[in-house]
A and B are shown apart, each in its own frame.
Chain A
Amino acid sequence: MIDLQGYGPRLLDGALVTIELAVLSLILAVILGLLTASAKLSRNRLIHGIGTLYTTLVRGVPDLVLMMLLFYGGQIGINMLTDQLYYAFDIDIFININAFVAGVITIGLIFGAYMGETFRGAFQAVEEGQMEAARAYGMSPLLAFRRVRFPLMMRHALPGIGNNWMVLLKTTALVSIIGLTDMVRVAAEATKATHEPFMFMIPVAMIYLLIATLSEWGFAKLTKRYNTGFGESSEWNN
């Protein structure tokens, strides 16, 4: 039936790279997104400005261009930095960026901006009354954040996070262009060698669809979890 001509194991390895890359950059993006959201909600004008600049620049430039800039420019930039360190302080270090780390950092940076917008909207959607109630209970700011603001915020942020995750998953395909061996690159190499594009591209597309379908299901579960107390009963509350 399907004859992968010996590319099967490599395709599976590539699929693993894709998944690892996607999950790691999602984690980075969520952290950066939370930081960006707090920067954009800050009253300090400088911090607010930096947050706005970051989200505007990143969302205005294609992912691939940013990826090429960071990947091809990153090593040169770091070399220049370490050279400066060497001349100034006589510190001799050599940092080599490998493609995987560069991929995670780039995708994390790009989606940090999108996540930032999602989280900002979600934080603003939390009713002030809830936080006032938490304070009235004598909760410390940290406890109030953990128990009240964060769970309430997640309810509004989840649809956005889900969308961003789907886009992020598809964006990981671009790392094959800058030389990381994910499943798209394996499929492209196999296609060039065997001249059978459908044989390799369609299984890869199926894996993407499978991951997308599974995560849709996962997000539906999470949404249900975070909608506790808001679901069907909200009809009576209004």
Chain B
Amino acid sequence: MEQLNGWFTDLLSGNVIFTANTLSFYWSGLVTTVQLVFLSLLIGVILAVPLAIGRGSKRRWIKLPIYAYTYVFRGTPLLIQLYLVYYGVVFFDGIQDSIFWVVFKQAFFPALIAFTLNTAAYTTEIFHGAIKNTAKGEIEAARAYGMSRKLMMRRIILPSAFRRALPAYGNEVIFMLHASAVASVVTIMDLTGAAYYVYARFYAPFDAFIFVALIYLCLTFSIMFTFRTLEKRLLAHLRPRGA
């Protein structure tokens, strides 16, 4: 530990750009990015499950609005959605006088709303696809057991659909991490915002952006690793025997 400390101080002492001060900027940026992405993914999944079930409904008045929602949010850039929420939030009457203004004043919450709506749209389509691909035999077996539609959804369709959706959802998580970089545009100090600050302060684009790219790379790889481990555990029954 002593040695490591000494090595670290040596590394930092000769460095103008990566001082403790800028590193703390990167650190708080990392915390903001992870919070933003994690929260929006969490709320997004909670929204997406009922939406995905509704998306596969036979009733048009349930199916069509959900389809319109996913179509619009998947067809337009996240940046525009972010701008719309960020600049549009003041147009809700009386929001500036209500207690909510304390949270909406900061850019974090508009960004969280935009990201959540965006990822919920993508996740809805992923889950919908997985639900649609449920093997007919599984549904027939469940029906033969006399399960009601609700019970069948809960015990048979959803568990197997979640497993099948896992690889696509892993991609969505990485996509969200990368997309969260636009948060820096609306004054949020996330990782990219921190990198931009360091770039502007020292006029050192290579140092600032390559460093942050490496952090993102580490995050991406750890997400990939997590999902691969999860897939190995949860999709074990789908692997060819003897493999």
Using a CB–CB cutoff of 8 Å, the interface residues on chain A facing chain B are: 57, 59-66, 68-69, 72-73, 76-77, 166, 170-174, 176-177, 184, 187-188, 191, 195, 197-198, 201-202, 204-205, 208-209, 212-213
Contact = CB atoms under 8 A, between A and B. Distances in A.
Given A65-B192, A188-B83, A73 B209 contact: yes
A155 B83 CA distance: 38
A184 to B, nearest CB: 6
Contacts, number: 110
Contacts of B84: 197-198, 201-202, 205
A64 B91 CA distance: 29
Contacts of B78: 170, 173
13 contacts: A60-B217, A63-B178, A72-B209, A170-B76, A177-B79, A187-B83, A197-B83, A197-B87, A197-B88, A198-B84, A198-B88, A201-B87, A204-B80
Contacts of A170: 76-78
Could you say which of B72, B182, B185, B209 has the most chain A C-beta atoms within 10 Å of its C-beta? B209
B7 to A, nearest CB: 27
A205 B181 contact: no
Nearest to B199: A72
A187 B78 CA distance: 14
Interface of B: 71-72, 75-81, 83-84, 87-88, 91, 177-182, 184-185, 192, 195-196, 199, 205-206, 209-210, 212-213, 216-217, 220-221
A205 B181 CA distance: 20
Give 10 nearest A-B pairs by CB, closest first. Answer: A173-B77, A197-B87, A73-B205, A69-B209, A62-B178, A62-B181, A64-B181, A72-B205, A170-B77, A60-B220
A68 B192 contact: yes
A205 B81 CA distance: 9
